[in-house]
Chains A and B, each alone.
Chain A
């Protein structure tokens, strides 16, 4: 039961709650709502059940009615709120601008919402996605272009295989978007792997042929990254070939791509003239590390420790950095590790409390700068430069750690949502802006590295977009950068729906079974650590008290939105401060 509402509610609400406790829910509810309110609720329920987004929005805005319902019948309220939130979230998602080529992004966003056991399934949209098209036709009347993009995103059979194809259509139409994407992605990954391992062509015509091949559109983000790297490697080989002698070119001919890059790395090592040195950096950036360039376990441990110290010194004295350091000084643990991030540059791991920096990103930095791990560890200046290079991502991930800590201190369940990434990307961009202005070494490093690595280019582009205006930056982060994760509204809606359905199910359970579940099920601590998917997938195994606690947390939406809005206002106002503050005199750059 929502104790906060009970304490602050009117007598009428208290009466309803007490009556509810005596298992006279229906009667209490009937007494609590006026005749008009009951009629309005009935209309809302009918409209929301038929997936009407206008009614859903209106119900959510009708706070009085929702509050009364919440007090009298929490599960009923949560169920209706979840369906209404899911509909408004779906509408907002589709209302956004979606580029034709963003079908993969939209597909992932829709697959998070349309699947088994999602609130939208209860209003007839899911688990297979085709009812979405009928819903759009009935309620939204989108342009033909947007409808085509949605058809691509849900992997409609005809759109993927053509109108002439028939075989397999029945099975395909029974699958969810997630299942369809998994099949297409697997097929694309197999094709790519074959090319990387056996194909020897690298010419521009071949590159163009691959770029326009439909199959690679279905790669998942990691596969997409590998595909882009493959294209970049081929372009680098073609560029390098212009400076090779015939015997040198013969050495790389007939080799698969990784072998070609490896051989080119040797051929261009320690180039002296400007053109060749530029190609050497491009080759070094795109090729895999040689044995001497990788980090051994011992070196990895040493470097992680040195970087941990380095980034603390690096971020000190900036507004974003000082906010983070204040957080660590308040007792939070800082633990930096170097591991493979599998396609990302860095991540915060709540389960271990570690900030993981991607080992490949670091090894690429070493290759481009002609340093190996041994010489790096002996040179404090080089380690300090590396700390500068990784520091924007450190700020980004430390912000995620702060978000987790905030939720833990408030003792509330916090799903991982787009709003987390907006805050982290804003903090990263705020930090980069200030460092570029105040720290000459930082600026020179990034100006040099942006010529050679997309990591540096992306840090600068994130900074640029943030500086062009925070309102548009918010939209860009949601739509372009972090499309694959749900908004807070979407996550909250999914969880509330799953919990309310489970609590309803438990009402009908024999008392002995319910007691057994509450003794052996997962407790609150375990549930609080679960992701959205884990939580919605395991509600049947979580103790009732834990489910009620999480339900209560999420029903108090303002706690979350207030936190995110406050963070957004802070970074926005700090950008103004950073931009108008004077650059320090030489020597005033924060010491390492």
Chain B
């Protein structure tokens, strides 16, 4: 059975899986600690936090999903994840980048997608790679409906000693810039293994 933990209205409350916070979080934010110290970061108090612990144990992808305001046809979301060395989906961080910074056949521009180049950078003094993509996401792929929403996503991929971390921001393109500061705050306070 899928075990999902949903924690709402996080103001002042302690998390399941929380350990003592390394330092006080900024106003409007609280610190989240993933079990086994896989990562910790500041997350917005008013956003919904979701986890699926059973799926995490099986896939060895330890991920939180933060759901922000819904705008138009799509939500604003942030994912923070630790991909263990023997995770189900990706052999290495390079594999993740290869499969997420291009489409499945290696294109960076298609009728439904557009990617930015992958740039080497640093996040909190750690080596990181960042890239963005825009996707025409069909809402009804099972029927001949043509309804879609244009979403924009931003990624940070951080190599770790074993495995790697991924920070992923997802928003309708129309409000991407508006909520980017929340993602930036999480990213700037992120500490991995």
> Which positions in A face B, CB cutoff 8 Å?
57, 60-61, 88, 91-92, 95-97, 99-102, 140-143, 145-146, 149, 221-222, 224-225, 228-229, 231-232, 343-345, 358, 360-361, 421, 432-433, 436-437, 443, 450-451, 454-455, 457-458, 460-464, 466-471, 474, 480-482, 489, 572, 576, 579
Chain A residues near B105 (CB-CB < 8 A) = 436-437, 443
* Interface check B92, CB cutoff 8 A: no
B8 A343 Cβ-Cβ under 8 A: no
* Interface check B111, CB cutoff 8 A: yes
- For B100, the closest partner residue in chain A by CB is A468
Chain A residues near B104 (CB-CB < 8 A) = 432-433, 436, 460, 463-464, 466-467
- For B56, the closest partner residue in chain A by CB is A471
Choose, from B18-26, B29-37, B68-76, B156-164, the stretch at the interface.
B68-76
Picked from B63, B110, B140, B144, the residue with its CB within 8 Å of the CB of A360 is: B144
B contacts with A, residue count (CB < 8 A): 52
| A and B contact pairs by CB, cutoff 8 A, 22 listed | A92-B4, A95-B6, A99-B70, A100-B75, A102-B73, A102-B139, A140-B8, A221-B140, A224-B145, A228-B147, A437-B105, A450-B110, A454-B138, A458-B141, A461-B138, A464-B113, A466-B104, A469-B100, A471-B63, A480-B137, A480-B141, A481-B140
Chain A residues near B65 (CB-CB < 8 A) = 97
Interface string of B44-58 (1 = CB under 8 A from A): 001010100001000
Tell me, in angstroms, the Cα distance from A468 to B112 when the chains sit together.
15
- For A149, the closest partner residue in chain B by CB is B70
Tell me, in angstroms, the Cα distance from A471 to B149 when the chains sit together.
22
Determine which residue in B9, B69, B72, B146 has the highest number of CB atoms from chain A within 10 A of its CB, and name it.
B146
Chain B residues near A454 (CB-CB < 8 A) = 138, 144, 146
> Which positions in B face A, CB cutoff 8 Å?
1-4, 6, 8-9, 46, 48, 50, 55, 59, 61, 63, 65, 67, 69-75, 77, 88-91, 96, 99-100, 103-105, 110-113, 135-147, 149
B88 A225 Cβ-Cβ under 8 A: no
Picked from B1, B61, B74, the residue with its CB within 8 Å of the CB of A489 is: B1
B141 A461 Cβ-Cβ under 8 A: yes
Chain B residues near A579 (CB-CB < 8 A) = 99
A482 B138 Cβ-Cβ under 8 A: no
Tell me, in angstroms, the Cα distance from A345 to B61 when the chains sit together.
34
Chain B residues near A481 (CB-CB < 8 A) = 140-142
- For B90, the closest partner residue in chain A by CB is A469
Tell me, in angstroms, the Cα distance from A88 to B105 when the chains sit together.
40
Tell me, in angstroms, the Cα distance from A443 to B9 when the chains sit together.
49
With A143-B8, A470-B89 as contacts: A225 and B145 at CB distance below 8 Å:
yes
B146 A143 Cβ-Cβ under 8 A: no
Chain A residues near B74 (CB-CB < 8 A) = 99, 101
7 nearest interchain CB pairs? A101-B73, A100-B70, A225-B145, A467-B104, A228-B146, A469-B89, A458-B141
A471 B89 Cβ-Cβ under 8 A: yes
B1 A88 Cβ-Cβ under 8 A: yes
Chain B residues near A450 (CB-CB < 8 A) = 110-112
A61 B6 Cβ-Cβ under 8 A: no
Determine which residue in A88, A232, A345, A469 has the highest number of CB atoms from chain B within 10 A of its CB, and name it.
A469
With A99-B74, A451-B111 as contacts: A57 and B144 at CB distance below 8 Å:
no
Tell me, in angstroms, the Cα distance from A145 to B48 when the chains sit together.
10
B75 A99 Cβ-Cβ under 8 A: yes
A228 B89 Cβ-Cβ under 8 A: no
Tell me, in angstroms, the Cα distance from A443 to B69 when the chains sit together.
39
